[in-house]
């Protein structure tokens, strides 16, 4: 109906990653919201294992750029909502916001307080700001198709 959105589809073991750069002061604008719509969940995926580490929908916030501290919000095939998984000790954590096929094909709006999440997960204040955010749709570990639509990204100083 005229709405434009971004689609990420991995059906050839090629992870689809995009990064949007902009100045982001999380002290002033800690709230981040978006919509995502999983179209295809990677079969048998679970982010807690290297052999099944795939997510249809993934939104990254990297404090300090590409080598900084990472929080990745995911729509997991199998892990329960609320799971926080330490993928790289002290450097990268995954937070499951949606899980399973129940809402596949339907837009879901997600809002997070990235600054509060950072402090909770890393147990410290950030020393650097994120230079934007990234998206990743991948099915390369399970060698199965993964697909997600992304839309309506917003940052704000007040909760949505």
* pLDDT value of position 2: 86
* pLDDT value of position 14: 82
Q: What are phi and psi of 76, to 5 degrees?
A: -90, 150
DSSP conformation letters of 58-80: EEEEEETSTTSEEEEEEEESSSP
Judge if pTM exceeds 0.85. yes
CA 101, CA 38: separation in Å to the nearest integer?
8
Instruction: Point out the least confidently predicted range of 3-7, 106-110, 112-116.
Output: 3-7
What's the pLDDT band for 32 if we cut at 50, 70, 90? very high
CA 57, CA 136: separation in Å to the nearest integer?
7
**Res. 81: pLDDT tops 90:** yes
**Res. 1: pLDDT tops 90:** no
Specify whether the CB–CB gap between 45 and 76 falls below 8 A.
yes
Buried b / exposed e over 119-132, threshold 16 CB at 10 Å, is: eebeeeebeebbbb
Q: For residue range 117-141, list pLDDT tens digits in order.
A: 999 999 999 999 999 999 999 999 9
């Amino acid at each position: 109906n005229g709405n434009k959105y971004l689609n990420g589809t991995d059906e050839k073991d090629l992870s689809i990653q995009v990064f949007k750069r902009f100045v982001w002061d999380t002290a002033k604008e800690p709230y981040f919201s978006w919509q995502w719509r999983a179209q295809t969940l990677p079969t048998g995926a679970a982010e807690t294992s290297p052999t099944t580490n795939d997510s249809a929908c993934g939104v990254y916030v990297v404090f300090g750029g590409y080598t900084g501290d990472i929080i990745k919000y995911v729509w997991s095939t199998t892990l329960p909502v609320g799971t926080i998984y330490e993928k790289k000790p002290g450097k990268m954590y995954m937070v499951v916001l949606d899980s399973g096929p129940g809402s596949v094909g339907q837009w879901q709006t997600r809002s997070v307080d990235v600054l509060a999440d950072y402090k909770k997960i890393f147990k410290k204040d950030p020393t650097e700001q994120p230079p934007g955010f990234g998206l990743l749709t991948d099915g390369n570990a399970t060698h199965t198709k993964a697909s997600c639509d992304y839309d309506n990204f917003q940052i704000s100083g007040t909760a949505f």
